[in-house]
Chains A and B, each alone.
Chain A
Amino acid sequence: GAVVSQHPSRVICKSGTSVKIECRSLDFQATTMFWYRQFPKQSLMLMATSNEGSKATYEQGVEKDKFLINHASLTLSTLTVTSAHPEDSSFYICSAETGQATEAFFGQGTRLTVV
């Protein structure tokens, strides 16, 4: 099956700094990638939809200037959490679609802790 790799799996950063999370489709080209946020014992909440070569579409309530998304190639999307605060601590997950099927393939997630 298709593999989506997310890096890093864990990151701890200081308040006020920025953190970049990478999402790569290893064996397929992803026309669309999605970024989710998940709080403990909660469901996945979609943050934004990222299409290669165009601006990301953010869900209501998600600050696009705080959560910068770049989808520069068909195999890589990045999420940068800018000026991180402790309340940004969460589990961030990406998924990718091939464009030929609706099934989405998920990365292993990134645990962000802001101290």
Chain B
Amino acid sequence: GESVGLHLPTLSVQEGDNSIINCAYSNSASDYFIWYKQESGKGPQFIIDIRSNMDKRQGQRVTVLLNKTVKHLSLQIAATQPGDSAVYFCAATTGANSKLTFGKGITLSVRP
């Protein structure tokens, strides 16, 4: 089966620093990965995704790295801002239109 987990429940960073959030997955057949941001009382918001044929993908201030050898995924946020404070989830799936399996979530807290 699929299980996706995050290494740490909370992460506190200074405003302006870079943040790195890590995630491990168990199913080697997983081929699509997504990072979501969830603010209190709201639904998950798509941040960035990556397919298994890639190792790295960059967005605006965010980078996702995928290491299939160790089944590890990370989200890097550059110049972290107070608005980045939220819970972050990684999710994985296999195949198209397949259900997502979510990790437990990590709370990112940005210190001013």
A67 / chain B contacts, CB cutoff of 8 Å:
none
Residues B97 and A102 in contact, CB atoms below 8 Å apart? yes
A109 / chain B contacts, CB cutoff of 8 Å:
41-43
Chain B CB within 8 A of A87 CB: no
B25 / chain A contacts, CB cutoff of 8 Å:
none
Q: Which residue of A lies closest to B34 (CB)?
A: A103
Residues B46 and A108 in contact, CB atoms below 8 Å apart? no
- Tell which of A13-21, A42-50, A69-77, A78-86 binds the partner: A42-50
Q: How many residues of A contact B (CB 8 A)?
A: 27
B98 / chain A contacts, CB cutoff of 8 Å:
102
- A41, A102, A109 — which one has the most chain B CB atoms within 10 A of its CB? A102
Give which listed residue, A34, A46, A102, contacts B32 with CB less than 8 A. A102
Q: Which residue of B lies closest to A107 (CB)?
A: B43
Distance to closest chain B CB from A23 (angstroms): 10
Chain B CB within 8 A of A22 CB: no
Inter-chain contact total with CB atoms closer than 8 Å: 55
Residues B46 and A105 in contact, CB atoms below 8 Å apart? yes
Give which listed residue, A34, A45, A97, A106, contacts B45 with CB less than 8 A. A106
Chain B CB within 8 A of A53 CB: no
**In the bound complex, what is the Cα–Cα distance between A91 and B89 (angstroms)?**
16
Residues B43 and A6 in contact, CB atoms below 8 Å apart? yes
Q: Which residue of B lies closest to A98 (CB)?
A: B97
Residues A43 and B42 in contact, CB atoms below 8 Å apart? no
6 closest pairs, A vs B, by CB?
A106-B43, A109-B43, A43-B102, A44-B102, A108-B43, A106-B44
A contacts, CB < 8 Å to B:
1, 4, 6, 31-32, 34, 41-46, 49, 91, 93, 95, 97, 99, 102-109, 111
